[in-house]
Amino acid sequence: MTTKNTYSNADIAHIDRTAVWHGFTQMAHYEPLVIERGEGNWLFDIEGRRLLDGASSLWCNLHGHNHPTINAAIRDQLGKIAHVTSLGMIGRTAVELTGRLVDVTPEGLNHVFYSSDGSSSVEAALKMAFQYWQQRENPQPQKTKYVAMGAAYHGDTTGGVSLGGVEHFHSLFGPLLFDVLRGPCPDTYRLPENVTPETACDHYFETFRELVTGQHQQIAAVVMEPLVQGAAGMIMHPEGFLRRVRDLTQELDILLICDEVATGFGRTGKMFACQHEQVSPDLMCIAKGLTGGYLPMAATLASDAIWNAFLGDLDQNKQFFHGHTYSGNPMAAAAGLASLDVFEEEQVLENLPAKIDHLQRCLQPLASHRHVGSIRQRGLMVGIELVEEKASKQPFPAGQTRGARVCRYALDRGVWIRPLGDVIVLMPPLSIQADEIETLVEAVRYGISQEFPGE
């Protein structure tokens, strides 16, 4: 029997390499990277190497690692109770967090259902939308279809993958999935022929309008990532597209589900991406940054109209037929409350514009490189797309893994980032400082120079 604390660093690396199964990772080529601790915006591996967390530990850490306010909140909650079911009861911290979330999210989202991760929050939204149409005051049971955007990503559960449009991720699972109506991918970089940046919003919206108008009586909901499609490669939507989608869904009596798992909690410069275009969806999914990147927690927020459709006498069986063991976990809720406190106490949103501008200025020199096709930025969400030929936007052959190679070179400069294909993604914690922004961009510059020497 193995006793605790007997593993050497070599043992840890071996177990990580041979027994731990990493998601979205080819284990035949995986090189162990095991983190021992974190401090501020930095990670420290088991060998003592210091790495800037340029991807916010997969887009979830907001205020840095080991933040004293969040640490203290979790310790305090641990001294009270670690878990309370949300089936028929609830912990106090989850109730307090609910009140705070209703206050900071777009207007009208007054009801909060908790789960554990972004995929689960999307699954809950899909089922809420379906059940809503079956049992609202004027039922529309034929409304069972969903619309998702091209190149969409909404998680890796069956419903999320059904909505997904990233061929590389999702094609294998086709036989398991339900059909969706596929809308356009509102990409402002790879524009269709004869479409300009000035006409892009009109073009994509007309394509979307034609799709939904003829089938709106069968459509339960439109599901979309507002403003930025993260996992698709930091695809940036044209300004105004979200607002026009919201107006059309209201006109045609279709629910709008906004997936703010990646864009929520300050990533785009506002607390939620929807707020850039004054949009309040019917359902909104949040996760990742909900606890500041500390503990697994997600939530699906719903409007009054949806909530009311689930109210009734016990014998009507209108309750939401869905639940999770760890919904509303008190420890996670305490972290979520503390994270919202940090937003206020450290004026996080107020300090973002200067950081966003500084990051943009630092990135500008990279744009002239012959293999940098696009630098896309919304707030502190950045995608740097590498291309073989700039004028035609011709991508590199996938097997060359240029983006991954650039990111490996960045490790030599003490920065951890992770690509999406040949799109280098930068999404640092909101707490990143000016000198750390410079370190982050310099590591990318170095990686590109090493991957393309002499160019």
153 a known binding residue?
yes
DSSP per residue, 233-275: TSEEPPTTHHHHHHHHHHHHT-EEEEE-TTTTTTTTSSSSGGG
Q: Output the pLDDT for position 41.
A: 98
23 a known binding residue?
no
The domains found in the chain, sorted by start residue, are 33-63+347-451 (3.90.1150.10), 71-345 (3.40.640.10)
- How far is the C-alpha of 276 from the C-alpha of 278, rounded, in Å? 6
Residue 233 has pLDDT above 50, yes or no: yes
**Mean pLDDT confidence for 308-323:** 96
Q: Output the pLDDT for position 46.
A: 97
**Mean pLDDT confidence for 29-42:** 97
Residue 167 has pLDDT above 90, yes or no: no
324 a known binding residue?
yes
**Which pLDDT band holds residue 2 (cuts at 50, 70, 90)?**
low
Residue 171 has pLDDT above 90, yes or no: no
Q: Which long-range contacts (CB under 8 A, 24 or more apart) does 173-182 make?
A: 179/145, 180/145, 180/146, 180/147, 180/148, 181/145, 181/146, 181/147, 181/148, 181/211, 181/212, 181/215, 181/219, 182/147, 182/148, 182/149, 182/150
154 a known binding residue?
no
| pTM beyond cutoff 0.95 | yes
Q: Are 331 and 122 in contact (CB under 8 A)?
A: no
**Mean pLDDT confidence for 433-438:** 98
414 a known binding residue?
no
Q: Output the pLDDT for position 1.
A: 46
187 a known binding residue?
no
99 a known binding residue?
no
Q: Are 281 and 300 in contact (CB under 8 A)?
A: no
**Mean pLDDT confidence for 23-51:** 97
- How far is the C-alpha of 359 from the C-alpha of 126, rounded, in Å? 36
Residue 12 has pLDDT above 90, yes or no: yes
**Which pLDDT band holds residue 331 (cuts at 50, 70, 90)?**
very high
**Which pLDDT band holds residue 421 (cuts at 50, 70, 90)?**
very high
283-286 vs 255-259, strand pairing mode: parallel
Q: Output the pLDDT for position 274.
A: 98
118 a known binding residue?
yes
Residue 413 has pLDDT above 80, yes or no: yes
Average pLDDT, the chain: 97
Q: Identify which of 379, 446, 432 has the alpha carbon closest to the alpha carbon of residue 54.
A: 432
pLDDT tens sequence across 357-376: 999 999 999 999 999 999 99
Query: In this structure, what token pair is assigned to residue 129?
Result: 């939308």
Higher pLDDT, 386 or 3: 386
| Percent of the chain whose predicted confidence (pLDDT) is above 70 | 99
Query: In this structure, what token pair is assigned to residue 106?
Result: 């777009």
Q: Output the pLDDT for position 3.
A: 61
Residue 299 has pLDDT above 80, yes or no: yes
Residue 321 has pLDDT above 90, yes or no: yes
146 a known binding residue?
no
| Percent of the chain whose predicted confidence (pLDDT) is above 90 | 96
Residue 318 has pLDDT above 60, yes or no: yes
Q: Output the pLDDT for position 389.
A: 97
Q: Are 390 and 370 in contact (CB under 8 A)?
A: yes
